[in-house]
Each structure stands twice: as structure tokens, then as C-alpha cells.
Amino acid sequence: MISIDLNCDLGEGVVSDEVELALLDCVTSANIACGGHAGDAATIRRLAIACVARGVAIGAHPSYPDRASFGRDSLGTRPTEIGAAVLSQLRVFAAAIRDTPGARITHIKPHGALYHDAMNNQAVAIAIQEAAKAVFPDAVLMGQAGAPGLEHWRSAGAPVVSEAFADRRYEPDGSLRSRKLEGALLESVAEVAAQALSIARDCKVCLADGSFLKVVAETICLHSDTPGAAEFAREVRRELLENGIAVRGLKRD
């Protein structure tokens, strides 16, 4: 049976607690902000408890330390500074879940500009990998399917998981359309569910011109700040299950 993980970004202060819990009822992995672009020890702990209660895999979601732009601007900082910022955020995350029964980190997924920089810049990717290894040596690193960053992590000996996006438009070169451009976000429930199914079952996404791009992924992301995120998540899960695709979380031995 084909299976896929569903992940979402949480703890970012952009949606209500009710929406976050609704998302956790649908996804199998959560990426929790850890102080760079959003979040703090209290939100990490609260969401980790909710994840444990639902059997959802817990992940850290570090970013550039830039709350003003929500971590969506590349700061152009040196790899050593990036590594130090990620290390600091992961230590906050570790402290926050230390006394939470059953809480165990499974994966680490960079956020926003840091994610895209890591996928395209070897020095940034390795800085993140080294910080992750120092705090959570067994955690999987999550990155965009087909991007060079995944290979940089693999070459450094890190376990990785490839990710695709249900609610974002892809460009022909495999990149995501910039949020600054029209059409970057898929806006209808039907579109998002169809793209998730296409990724999981057919390993492809439909581009704006009607052509298809190959995308081989182990996990599918749904952004919590996309309007209608909870409804999208429910419909994606339903669509996958109705088409015989199991929704299963990331597991570590």
C-alpha cells in the first residue's frame, strides 16, 4: 500500500489554537516554531503535549532570527552565524520538551527563507545539519524533494525526508512560486486535495500551463497560515484515504 506523511507548520502565532488543534487531528507530523520567526518555550510545550496525545510526530521548525519579516527574508548571514542561530533555537526546543511525557523529536525542518537557502546553498545546509547533530543527532532533516540541499545533507551523513507542498504552486524548474507573485498559493479545497493526491499517487504536480513536473516525496506539507488550512487538511486526508493511500507519520527506530 502506498503511504505518505502529512506535515504542517505550527506555533507561529498566525492562527487560533482551535485551528492548530484541528490541523493536528488531520496531519501525522508537526513542525513547531522554536523562537526564530515565532514561538517560544510555552508554545513548543503546549503543542508537543497535543502532538503526544494524538500520536503526531514532533519536529522543530528553526528559522532566521527575524520576527519582523516572519523569517521570509534571507538575512545573508555567514554560515557560522546561521549555525549558531539554529543551535540556539534547537536548545530552546530541547529544554521545552524535556519534561513532557512521551515527547520525542523526530525531525527538523527549516522555515521560510532559511529553508530555501539551505536547499540551494551547501554551506547553509551543512550549518543547519551540524547544529541539528549537536542537539538532536537522531532527527531526520526535512527538505524539498529534488533540491540540492537534500543531497548535501545525505553527503554529510544525515538522515533526510523529502517534502512536497499541497498548497503551493510549482515553477517548471521545481522551485515554489514566490509568495510575492500572483498564484503562489492554491486557493480552493479541490485544488489542494488534487495536488496532494497527485503527489502521493502519481509523483507529479500540475503546472500553471497544464504540463506536469515529477515530484517524488515522502511527506506533504500544508501551511497553517494558508486561508482555510483546517478545511484543506481534512479534505486532503479524506482524498488520500478514499484513494487507498495510507497516511502515516515519520518514524525513527
Residue 73: which region, alpha, beta or left (left: phi > 0; alpha: psi -120 to 50)? Answer: beta
Residues 6+ apart with CB under 8 A from 77: 64, 85
The answer to whether the CB of 64 falls within 8 A of the CB of 112 is yes
CA distance 251 to 169: 28
28-80, pLDDT tens digit by residue?
999 999 999 999 999 999 999 999 999 999 999 999 999 999 999 999 899 99
Helix residue spans in the chain (DSSP H) = 17-24, 41-54, 79-97, 112-120, 122-135, 148-155, 189-197, 229-242
CB 10 within 8 A of CB 229: no
What is the set of domains in the chain, with CATH numbers? 3-247 (3.20.20.370)
> What is the tens place of the pLDDT at every residue in 105-144?
999 999 999 999 999 999 999 999 999 999 999 999 999 9
Distance of alpha carbon 182 from alpha carbon 84, whole angstroms = 35
Cell of 243: 484513494
Q: Which pTM was predicted?
A: 0.95
Distance CA 203, CA 8 (A): 20
